[in-house]
Amino acid sequence: MVEETGCLDEASSSPPGDSYAWRNGEPLLRPVACEPLTRLVGLVETGRLMRENPMSILPGALFRQTRLSGPHFGRSIHEVSGPAEMKSILLDNYEAWRKSPLIMRMLRPILGEAILTAHGENWHRQRKSLQPAFLRRRIEGFAPIMAEVAETTALRLSAEDQPVEIQAVLNDATFSVIERVLFSDAQEFDRVRVRSAIEVILAETGTLRMSDLLPAPEWVPRLMSARALRARHVFRKAAMAQIRRRRESGNSGDDLLGLLLELRDPETGDGLSDRDIRDTVMTFIAAGHETTAIALTWALYLVASDAPTQKRLRAEAAEAMAHGRALSAADLPRLTFSRQVIEEAMRLYPPAPILGRRAIAETEICGHPVKKGDVALLAFYALHRHETLWDQPDHFDPDRFSPERRPKDRYQFMAFGGGPRACIGANFALMEATIFLSTLVAKLGFTPVEGHDVYPVMQVTLRPRGGMALNIQTLRN
């Protein structure tokens, strides 16, 4: 698919598996990793590999170099994995780039013209309007909901006497959080049907087809199955019902939906339309709970595999939760190691490991000319494991995010993207993940399930193939 700009050495990329390195006499876990591509492949095999796991097309050279370019259907494709290249595309020249047509064809039929899929003036208007809803002082008001659901989840897990599929449990928990944050007084909201609909939509969206490899403009619809169309109808109807009920009540409410209903463009004073709010609500529900659940799943896998980290994390959480009280936003400054574990988990397993962009004008990437129509693949996964950027890049070391060692370059760690289109909910997600991880580890012990193979696959997000089974032990104080 891509002509590499440097020689490829298969031996340079260690195979995935659990092994240890050492730092200051302490062992560092080397968890499972995606196997990089170490040979040139043709279009047909590229299609097969992408259908199985898009991560399998990342060239090994991309973990040593920062840009690889080659032909792509009469244009060029540029795979990038360096901070300067990320900044060039996402910040310096971001107006020359647009989300890839494939991503737009996959997401727009589901999420409409929400902030994730909007472009141009529509996106600018939504971003300006939504930004106040995600100020730190606003989202800290949702911490009690997160803590309460985390406590309930710990209680649910404590009743298990066999290995638990932790990803499913966390998906349910983070869905409960976003449901309560959006709809504090939800009535006639069938969460079971909506959750089921989301699972159907994510499964279909995350399944690549051979036709997806062919160039097509974003306005060409990607066919959806009858099952997915029904799921979209269920999702849209449920969101719109809550919006209309709130409008009719005359009380916007003290929750995220209330904030959306009250938002006004700072320049025009216009509010969001019901359709804008519906698409935004659907985006928050679908993306907001899935990515956090996946980040927590990988974090618990790492913690379960690394006893010293689990012990240290538990000590920090126990001190913050003295006398059995639930965590609050005021505790977050004391949960520094928990946040480091979350960030290190998102470095090793970024929820969105690859981002696609298409040039809509002639531009450049760090001085390298780019023609209109060229494609860029921003390989966050390779960036996060780049040999020249990180010490022991494939090893689990939460202290690399300590105040003394965390990356100085904003574009070296891209778990939430970067530039004007960086994830608007980053602070919300980090707060939720930190509260959940601390609460669960304070009350429960986690160990790997012997014989359960773990391997990362990209299906919209980077998730463990076949789920994540962990042993759970209830701790007695």
d(CA 183, CA 177): 10
Q: Which of 278, 368, 288 is nearest to 89 (CA)?
A: 368
Residue 22 is inside which H or E element, if any?
strand 19-23
Evaluate if residue 377 carries a pLDDT over 90. Answer: yes
Evaluate if residue 13 carries a pLDDT over 70. Answer: no
Place of tokens 């002639």: 362
Model confidence, pTM = 0.90
For the chain, helix, strand, coil in percent to 5 are: 55, 15, 35
d(CA 405, CA 411): 15
Q: Which residue has the higher pLDDT, 441 or 24?
A: 441
The predicted structure's pLDDT at residue 114: 87
Name the percent of the chain lying above pLDDT 90: 60
pLDDT category, 5, cuts 50, 70, 90? very low
Determine whether the annotation assigns residue 366 to a binding site: no
pLDDT category, 210, cuts 50, 70, 90? low
Evaluate if residue 245 carries a pLDDT over 80. Answer: yes
pLDDT category, 413, cuts 50, 70, 90? very high
Ranking 130-139, 155-164, 359-368 by mean pLDDT, the lowest is: 130-139
| Overall size of the chain counted in residues | 477
pLDDT category, 9, cuts 50, 70, 90? very low
Evaluate if residue 3 carries a pLDDT over 60. Answer: no
Evaluate if residue 47 carries a pLDDT over 70. Answer: yes
Query: CB neighbours of 359 closer than 8 A, spacing ≥ 6?
Result: 96, 97, 98, 370, 371, 372, 373, 374, 375, 376
How many C-beta atoms lie closer than 10 Å to residue 8's C-beta? 16
Evaluate if residue 17 carries a pLDDT over 50. Answer: no
What mean pLDDT do residues 224-233 have?
90
Q: Which residue has the higher pLDDT, 69 or 161?
A: 69
d(CA 108, CA 87): 26
What mean pLDDT do residues 355-383 have?
96
Longest Cα–Cα distance of the chain, Å, equals 66
The predicted structure's pLDDT at residue 12: 30
Evaluate if residue 405 carries a pLDDT over 90. Answer: yes
Instruction: Classify strands 363-365 and 368-370 as parallel, antiparallel or unpaired.
Output: antiparallel
What mean pLDDT do residues 43-60 have?
83
What mean pLDDT do residues 49-64 have?
89
pLDDT category, 169, cuts 50, 70, 90? very high
What mean pLDDT do residues 312-340 have?
94
Q: Taking the mean position of all CA atoms in its chain, how far away is CA 385?
A: 17
The predicted structure's pLDDT at residue 367: 95
pLDDT category, 320, cuts 50, 70, 90? very high
Residue 19 is inside which H or E element, if any?
strand 19-23
Evaluate if residue 267 carries a pLDDT over 80. Answer: no
Name 461's bridge partners: 459
Q: Which residue has the higher pLDDT, 123 or 293?
A: 293
Evaluate if residue 294 carries a pLDDT over 90. Answer: yes
The predicted structure's pLDDT at residue 32: 95
| Structure tokens belonging to residue 187 | 């009535």
What mean pLDDT do residues 451-464 have?
93
The predicted structure's pLDDT at residue 26: 73
359 phi and psi angles, rounded to 5 deg? -75, 125
Evaluate if residue 313 carries a pLDDT over 80. Answer: yes
What mean pLDDT do residues 163-188 have?
91
The predicted structure's pLDDT at residue 2: 38
Evaluate if residue 15 carries a pLDDT over 70. Answer: no
d(CA 349, CA 34): 10
Residue 21 is inside which H or E element, if any?
strand 19-23
How many C-beta atoms lie closer than 10 Å to residue 161's C-beta? 8
Ranking 117-126, 288-297, 408-417, 466-475 by mean pLDDT, the lowest is: 117-126
pLDDT category, 211, cuts 50, 70, 90? low
The superfamily (CATH) of domain 10-474 is: Cytochrome P450 (1.10.630.10)
The predicted structure's pLDDT at residue 288: 82
The predicted structure's pLDDT at residue 213: 66
Evaluate if residue 7 carries a pLDDT over 60. Answer: no
Evaluate if residue 218 carries a pLDDT over 90. Answer: no
d(CA 50, CA 354): 12
Whole-number mean pLDDT of the chain? Answer: 88
